[in-house]
Amino acid sequence: MNEAVQTLEGWYVLHQFLSVDWPSWRVLPAKERAAAVAEFTALTREFAEDEDERKGAYGQYQVAGHKADLLFIHMRPTIAELNEIKTRFQKTKFADFTSPTYSYVSVVELSAYLAKPGVDPDTDPYLQGRLKPRLPKTAYVCFYPMNKRRRGNDNWYTLPMDQRRELMKSHGEIGRRYHGKVTQIITGSVGLDDWEWGVTLFADDPLHFKKLVYEMRFDEASARFGEFGPFYVGHRLTTEGLQQLLHLR
């Protein structure tokens, strides 16, 4: 059997995509709508406070296009905590006016070679910062799931370890050219969801998403072995921005 890459895992992640039933929401009496917004945004503030206390991470975004209206990204130490978060949302009044369009469950993943010899990954500040990240407060987010191809001669999982390592080195060099422009969080989902990885990109200019992904398409690791799911892009919502959106002003 070919050698598997050893990985380090951090927080579990839920990407939660929702559509809003705007016609029903608009006809809700203003007083009831205001109460629902107050209840819901109070909950999102709690999620943000958990991030401040390093209990997890949280981001909220308005999605472009018609695949969804809203995206909430939650990171927590356990899947049970992600389920608790989902349940708390579902019990809100606002949730009655939403429906899920997509979701993705994964876990923050790093290759084990990033660990320094003799250093405990559970206490190393650098690795802990990567495994339990704060979500960047950039203006835009992009998410997509992906696989490594397993077809004919283009089967990633039959390549020798050294060849896979060399291909990923070239792939990483492209990403490093976007340092300071794009922040990337890779999450593993083998055995957790329908794809093998989730990729979440953060930037202040969404054109950087287009340029980075396009450039990587010419890299052999993507050109021969990459399979990509749907792409979602949106902009970050502050509490005030979320309130404004839901109050229909």
Catalytic residues: 144
Closest C-alpha to 146, from 54, 213, 205: 213
How far apart, in Å, do the first and last CA atoms of the chain sit?
60
Alpha-carbon distance of 38 to 29, in angstroms, equals: 14
Q: How many CA atoms lie within 13 A of 17 on its CB side?
A: 21
Backbone angles phi, psi at 151, to 5 degrees: -145, 120
Tokens 């191809």 — which residue? 149
* DSSP H or E run through 173: helix 161-176
Q: Any residues with CB less than 8 A from the CB of 40 and at least 6 apart, and which? A: 92, 93, 94, 95, 246
**Rounded to whole angstroms, what are the CA distances from 122 to 52, 110, 127, 135?**
20, 13, 8, 20
| Beta-sheet pairing, 197-203 with 232-236 | unpaired
**Rounded to whole angstroms, what are the CA distances from 108 to 114, 116, 117, 128, 158?**
14, 19, 21, 11, 25
Q: Are 236 and 201 in contact (CB under 8 A)?
A: no
